[in-house]
A = this chain, B = another copy of it.
Amino acid sequence: MRFSPLQNDVFLRACMGLATPYTPIWLMRQAGRYLPEYRKTRARAGSFMGLATNTDYATEVTLQPLERYGLDAAILFSDILTVPDAMGLGLSFHLGEGPRFSAPVRDEAAVKALRVPDLEKLRYVFDAVTSIRKALNGKVPLIGFSGSPWTLACYMVEGAGSDDYRLVKTMLYSRPDLMHRMLQVNADAVAAYLNAQIDAGAQAVMIFDSWGGVLADGAFQQFSLAYTARVLAQLKRDHDGAVVPRIVFTKGGAPWLQEMGDLDCQVLGLDWTANLGRARALVGDRKALQGNLDPNVLFAPPAQIEAEAVKVLDSFGAPHQGEGTGATHVFNLGHGISQHTPPEHVQVLVDAVHTHSRRLRTA
C-alpha cells in the first residue's frame, strides 16, 4: 500500500450505490480561476500548460479548493486535450481564446496517420496523479479523467472551439468511415490513458463528453455513445483491491438518458436541463446520478443559493438508506464552475448540500 488509508469514503460509497450519512459534493473545475490562490500559482507557472505539466504546480492547485471547502472528492488538475496533444496535434492556449491545435485532422491522410500515443508523453499526468494522491494523504478520494473520444474528435477536426461544429460534422456526414476510424483510435487512447491514471493512483475515473449533446439523435448513439462504451469496456475494474468507479458525463445528454442507462459505468453525470427525479425513475436502479446545479446559481445571494441547492436535492427525492445498493446522488454543478464565481458562495453551497442532505436522512 503506497498511499494513506482513505478517511472520507462518502463519494466512493455514493458512486457504488451505497448509503451515506449525507450527499457528497464536488464541483467540476473546482480547482480553477475563480480562486485567487489558483491565479497566483498560474502566474508563477507562466501558462496553463506550464501549470498542467508541472507536477508540483498541478498538485498545489488540485488541493487548493480542499483547503477552503469541505468537498468530498478531489479531481486531477489537467486538460481534456492532453491525449490529442500527445498524438502530435500541437496544443496551445491563447489568452481569452481557449485551446487550439496547430495541426488539426481534416483529411484522410491525417486520419490514417493517427495512432494511440506513446504514454510516456503523458507521463506528466500520471506523475501528477501520484503526487496529488500522496499530498491528499487520504483526506478524500482522487478522480482521474479524460475527454470522450467524440469530444476529442471535435477539437481535433475543428482545431479549436466551435459554435456550429461544421467541420467535424461535415466529416461525420460525408466520410463516416474516417470518423469511425478516428474515434476508434481515440477510444483506445483514452482507455490506455485512464488505465494509466488508475495505476498511478486515481480512485475513480470520469469521461467528459462535453460535446456529445451537439450531435443529432442517431448520430449521438453511433459516434459518441458507442465509443464511450468502447472505452469503458477496456477500463480496469479495480486497483489495489478497491473498485474504481466510472463516471460518464454528457453535456446536453438528457434526451438520451435511457440509452446511457445501459453504459457499463456506475455513475451518470447530468447537466441542469435534466430533472433528477425523472432521471432516477428512468435509470436510478442501474446508475448513481451526479449533478446538476446551474453554475450561474452561484452568482445569486446566499439565501437563493441555499434554496436552489435544496431544490436539486429534493428533486432527486428520498435518499437511499440502510444496507445494500439503491439509487444514490452525488451533488455537483451541471457544468464547470465559472471563473467569475465569488469564492465565498462556494462555501454556502457546500454547507447547504451537507446540511440539507443530512436533514433528509433524519426526516
Contact = CB atoms under 8 A, between A and B. Distances in A.
Nearest to A305: B173
Contact of A311 (B218, B254, B301): B218
Interface string A295-307: 0110111001000
Interface string A307-319: 0100100010000
Contacts of A50: none
Nearest to A176: B304
Interface string A260-277: 000000000000111100
Contact of A300 (B174, B273, B300): B174
Contacts of A292: 216
Given A254-B254, A273-B213, A294 B219 contact: yes
Interface in A301-341: 301, 304, 308, 311, 315, 334, 338, 340
B315 A174 contact: no
Contacts of A164: 296, 338
B213 A173 contact: no
Nearest to A335: B164
A166 B335 CA distance: 13
Nearest to A295: B164
A97 interface: no
Nearest to A213: B273
A169 B252 contact: no
A173 B297 contact: yes
Given A173-B294, A217-B274, A255-B273, 14 more contacts: A165-B296, A169-B296, A169-B297, A169-B299, A172-B296, A173-B308, A174-B300, A213-B273, A216-B272, A216-B294, A218-B311, A220-B273, A255-B255, A255-B274
18 contacts: A164-B296, A165-B296, A169-B294, A169-B297, A170-B300, A172-B296, A173-B299, A173-B304, A174-B300, A215-B273, A216-B272, A216-B292, A216-B293, A217-B274, A217-B315, A218-B311, A220-B273, A254-B255
